[in-house]
Each structure stands twice: as structure tokens, then as C-alpha cells.
Amino acid sequence: MTGFRVGIVGATGAVGREMLRVLAERAFPASELRLIASPRSAGMRLDGREIMPVSPAVFDGLDVAIFDTPDEVAEQWVPVAAARGVVVVDNSAAFRMAPDVPLVIPEVNAEALRSAPRGIIANPNCTTATIAVPLAPLHRSAGLRRVIACSYQSVSGAGQRGVAQLWSELDTAVASRRPPDAPGGDAFAHPIAFNILPAVGSVRGSHTSEETKVAAELRKMLDAPRLPIGVTCVRVPTLTAHGVAVHAEFVRPLDAASAKALLESAPGVVVVDALAEGAYPTAHQAMGKDACYVGRIRQDEAGLLAFFATADNLRKGAALNAVQILETMVRMGLLQPKVSA
């Protein structure tokens, strides 16, 4: 059977482990799967396979490498893989804003895949994805004038360390029946259990790196380089799935009923919008699922179109989108296996 020889770099991480599940669920035609991580994990077994330490030779013979590593690791190793003729889909932020690297959500801008001169395709930030999937069809219909978005981001967005810190603090809190007074890990500067932290990522002047990424990535994917976007990113003590409250102003008229109709037929979107019956998107609803759930669609009192969206940060925000990128490239004739297995 002809298949792709696939490497997952960062296979031991939160996104890497989800990647393994998504590849299997979607029966991606992989004739070989190499699980790659840091030398710390070398020799460990995951899913019945031995973890290989990253090295130049580990990329030899691969068709595709999916990177699920910190930015600095991707910066070092993505060019090494690409130089060996391996097509790279990178989940880190290292190459997202490079002009010669397409930043793609297939439902939003699949055509951008046609121009990947370095053989590198970037996957957007998980909060960006939760906003872009529903916002793109509205933008295509009515033209965005400005966007305001506030996120509610789960701890798995900070990787395995984020999940570990929340569980550790919850254990302490349950034993003492008090909120923790010190962080129970090194993922967040303050306790996250029973808390909300309005700072995600590193400091960038008066913004955070997460906020600047979301704005810049939305502008790139929506092909709207001057779109004014105001973002506040907030970490909340949920395990998986991010929520985002979005308020948007459009150039052409777009009322809530028309927006709802557009969203109901938008790929990747499930509308859950009946406030009076208690139906609206929740993190639990999105956890482990593929869709971006959208509800609370309304005209706000400032005259903007508002909605709330949730999506699984490890799936549509990372692993699922990466696999959908590969599937789309295959469908568009942009990716073939180098050899038959």
C-alpha cells in the first residue's frame, strides 16, 4: 500500500499525543510513523513505538514531519527537516508570520497551500483558530471593519506542564478546602485553580505574546493586513477547549439572523444558539470534538455583531488542523509519498 512516512516531533507533548490519536481516528495513510522528542525521552515507548531523539538523520526518508515542539526547537530543526525534502507542518509560532510560509486553516484559506516555497506550512495558534473558523465566512460575506475578542483559554494550551499544575493545585485545594495560595507548578506565575489570569504568554509592551499572535495571525489568514483587532487573552481553570467572545463590525450590513444562517452552512462550524433553552457553546461540548461550536449570536448594544465560540485547542487548535492541512494537500495534488512502501 502506498503511504506517507510521517514523523511527529514533540510526540510526547500535549499536542503530539493528540496528533497520534487524530492520525489514527482519521486513518491518515501513514506507512511509517516515527515518534521523535528530546533526548530526555529517547528510548521511552508511546503507543507501542520507541521515541527517537531528534537529530538530522531522524528526518531521512520521511515524506512529512509534524512539529509539536516549543518555538526555539522548531526554529532549529524545521529547516533541517525541510532541507532534506521533508514537507513540514509546524504547530509552533516560529514560522507563522514568515511571508514565504503559508498559515492555513483549510476551511479559511486552503488556496494558500499552493505557495509553500520552503516546504513549510504553519498551523495557527489555538485561539486564532477558534476565532478564524467562524469569522472567515462572515468576513467573506460582509467585510470586516474591526474585531474585538476576549479569550477564555484552558490549561492544556500551555502543554503538559499547564495540565500538571492545575491537577496539583486541585489536589492541594481539595485536601485543604481552600484555594491554593502558591502556584503548584511552573506553567503559570500564579495559582490557576479557582483563578483567572489575564496574561497568556510573555510580555510584549502593554500586550502579551498570545494577544499579538492572535491579531497578526488573523490578519494574515483573512488577508486583511490593516484590520484593527483588539484582543485580551485570559487563562481559566478548564482542562481543554478554549472559548472566545468575539465582537465584530462589518463594512456591509450583517444582522444576527443572516450571520447565524451563514454560520449554519460554514464548514467546521456547529451552531448551538438557543439562549432561552440554555443552549450555547461550552468547553465541555467542544472537548475531544472536531468542530468549532458557535452561539450567543446577537447584535450587541454597541451595534457590533457578537458571538461566542469554543473549540478543542489540542484538536482544531493544533493536531486536527495539522492533519486536515495534510489531507487537503493530498486532495489538491500538492503532496505525494516519495516512495511506495
Ligand X SMILES: NC(=O)c1ccc[n+]([C@@H]2O[C@H](COP(=O)([O-])OP(=O)(O)OC[C@H]3O[C@@H](n4cnc5c(N)ncnc54)[C@H](OP(=O)(O)O)[C@@H]3O)[C@@H](O)[C@H]2O)c1
The contact set with ligand X (CB under 6 A) reads 10-16, 37-38, 40-41, 54, 68-71, 73, 91-92, 126, 156-157, 159-161, 313-314, 317-318
Nearest to 166 by CA among 150, 178, 184, 153: 184
**190 catalytically annotated:** no
Report the nearest approach of ligand X to the CB of residue 297 (Å): 25
Give the active site residue among 139, 207, 233, 242.
242
Instruction: Please state, in angstroms and rounded to a whole number, the distance separating the CA atoms of residues 94 and 228.
Output: 23
- CA dist 161 and 164 (Å) reads 5
Alpha carbon distance 11, 65 (integer Å): 11
Residue 150 bears catalytic tag? no
User: How near is the Cβ of 256 to ligand X at its closest, in Å?
Assistant: 30
Nearer to ligand X, 61 or 70 (CB): 70
Other CB atoms within 10 A of residue 78 CB:
26
249, with CB counted inside 10 A (0-12, 13-18, 19+), is middle
Residue among 68 and 211 whose Cβ is closer to ligand X: 68
Residue 15 or 22 with smaller CB distance to ligand X: 15
Q: How far is the CB of 317 from ligand X (least distance, A)?
A: 5
- Smallest separation, CB 114 to ligand X (Å): 24
Q: How many separate helices (H) and strands (E) can be counted in the chain? A: 9, 16
Angle, helices 159-176/14-25, rounded to nearest 10 degrees: 110
Cβ proximity to ligand X, 159 vs 243, nearer residue: 159
* Residue corresponding to grid cell 520521511: 62
Residues catalogued as catalytic: 126, 242
